[in-house]
Structure 1
């Protein structure tokens, strides 16, 4: 063994960080077990899901009767679910003008692609009901904003409306960033938590987003969900559902608990095995050339 090889091995010995492969494998097994258990526990949560795009087809307004089988304790979350809708494509993701959403008019307008002006976005009135200049830049613009799922829902029981608030449904980190510019020129309130939730892209083609929360118990019985359809042609091929559930602020537990655990767990196990083999070979190499 020459001096150059000895020098390289000495440098490797100093730089190499030994990771405990047994610990990595153990952590991976724990994550996989936790992911499986979390999905099993999720079945015990109370939720009511109803597909409404077929019932409300070709209608502007419709009403759907649902039955709450047992008392649901507050807070209760109202979500919508969309399937066969892709927010995870490069074109969709790159069309989100974050500078504009964060209150800065100095942004690259080419990001908005074919949905730049109020005319292209199909927007006529501002948040304050003022007429928008059709050739002005839409605030906000882009494919993501154009496809905003803005159906509206009300919940009633025996003719009495139950309050569904839009407060406390978005991530605090998002709410701190989204900033209105001029409501007289905006077609939507960019600080609306419903809009903020929509602008957080989903990694899957089927996803849920929080629409509101109910801060009172719902007694068992028959309820009516009144729906005002406002979505555009972006949802022509999608399936739409509304849900009542009490499984916390995260409307889709499989995305925040189960899926990450089942993805990271196997990775840690594989990495642990690779580390074990790699470290073992290096140790044999060190012993062979008696590097201490």
Structure 2
């Protein structure tokens, strides 16, 4: 075998000649052979302890800041579904909610315990309501919401795609079960105006619901689900429907109803005149009214702050454990005696 012949493109094996391997050391070759320069940190005990300690010192202040932002949000939560039923119907709530001849008017009194700066967001909260059910989520037609009667394939809306042999716009279970409780607010003799504009996502209003699509044959069947829609207003302007049709991922959820754009002071008493129309009694659901302010982080949610505090405290705890273990059993860096093939010698 001739190793000095540089001009020969092959390597002789005595039995068979195979092409010689390229000796190029380009970037692609270095990448495939993992020869590119890279940062290879040496994980010494001191570096690991310092890293965990630094992570703890970073996460704990972040957790304290986010938790303080969440605690600065003022909320008033009032469950009204049980108290707004007359005494004589407490044992048969479903019959009460289905009887259109019975008045559904109800008044609630909410006391403001802390100052609430405008805007004050109004939410309705539903519990034990599974909007994430597969059949429920699929029961809609996004193309019909955008194009109206011009789109005829509404098979995904079954069993609520038509009524009296006429198509329904909007079709499907989600629209059919539209929330229809209403709220009015007053403070003393004056009414608090509720701004119900721009409560839905702008992307939904502009791109998912047609500005020239109007409700048609909606809630005209024998079984009425929830609220009705004004047939003279296009779907793109009916923001209650748009908010409702963005389905929730969890069985307890809040949806925006409107905004009060006046400050509320301590000890103010807010009178809520509501209509208890929506049927949550058939499936054991709960209804709550929520008034809430907001912070730079959004609404009230302690999870992010608690999670950061937990991670920070855990990192500091681990760094202390590692430090104690290192002080008890120090190991010299680079000691060859600790290699696996030398451990027998150490044991002997």
The TM-score normalised by the length of structure 2 is 0.57
Q: 1:116 to 1:157 in 2, by over 3 A?
A: same
Q: How far 1:234 moved relative to its partner?
A: 8.3
Q: How far 1:183 moved relative to its partner?
A: 3.3
Secondary structure at the residue paired with 2:203?
A: helix
Q: How far 1:236 moved relative to its partner?
A: 4.0
Aligned to 2:188: 158
Aligned to 2:140: 96
Distance 1:250 1:99 in 2: 35
Secondary structure at the residue paired with 2:147?
A: coil
Aligned to 2:276: 229
Deviation digits for residues 216-252 of structure 1, max 9, x if unmatched? 2223411211111332468642111011111169985
Distance 1:107 1:27 in 2: 57
8 Å contact from structure 2 (residues 195, 259) kept in 1:
yes
- Within the alignment, does 1:13 sit opposite 2:26 as a pair? no
Q: 1:214 to 1:136 in 2, by over 3 A?
A: same
Q: How many residues align?
A: 243
8 Å contact from structure 2 (residues 119, 293) kept in 1:
yes
Deviation digits for residues 120-166 of structure 1, max 9, x if unmatched? xxxxxxxxxxxxxx432221111111221121110012232211111
101-110 or 44-53, larger mean C-alpha shift: 101-110
Q: 1:253 to 1:48 in 2, by over 3 A?
A: closer
- Within the alignment, does 1:179 sit opposite 2:210 as a pair? yes
Q: How far 1:103 moved relative to its partner?
A: 2.9
Larger RCO: Structure 1 or Structure 2 (Cα < 8 Å, ≥ 6 residues apart)?
Answer: 1
- Within the alignment, does 1:86 sit opposite 2:117 as a pair? no
8 Å contact from structure 1 (residues 61, 226) kept in 2:
yes
Aligned to 2:223: none
Q: Could you tell me which of 223, 230, 235 is aligned with 1:190?
A: 235
Structure 2 residue runs without a partner (length 5+)? 1-19, 22-27, 42-47, 86-95, 97-102, 219-228, 312-348
Distance 1:234 1:8 in 2: 69
- From the CA coordinates, give the structure whose radius of gyration is larger: 2
- Within the alignment, does 1:239 sit opposite 2:292 as a pair? no
Secondary structure at the residue paired with 1:103?
A: helix
Deviation digits for residues 40-92 of structure 1, max 9, x if unmatched? 53132111000011112336121111111243221111111111111222222
The TM-score normalised by the length of structure 1 is 0.67
Q: Could you tell me which of 149, 160, 181 is aligned with 2:179?
A: 149
Aligned to 1:215: 261
Structure 1 residue runs without a partner (length 5+)? 120-133, 266-292
Superposition RMSD in Å: 4.1
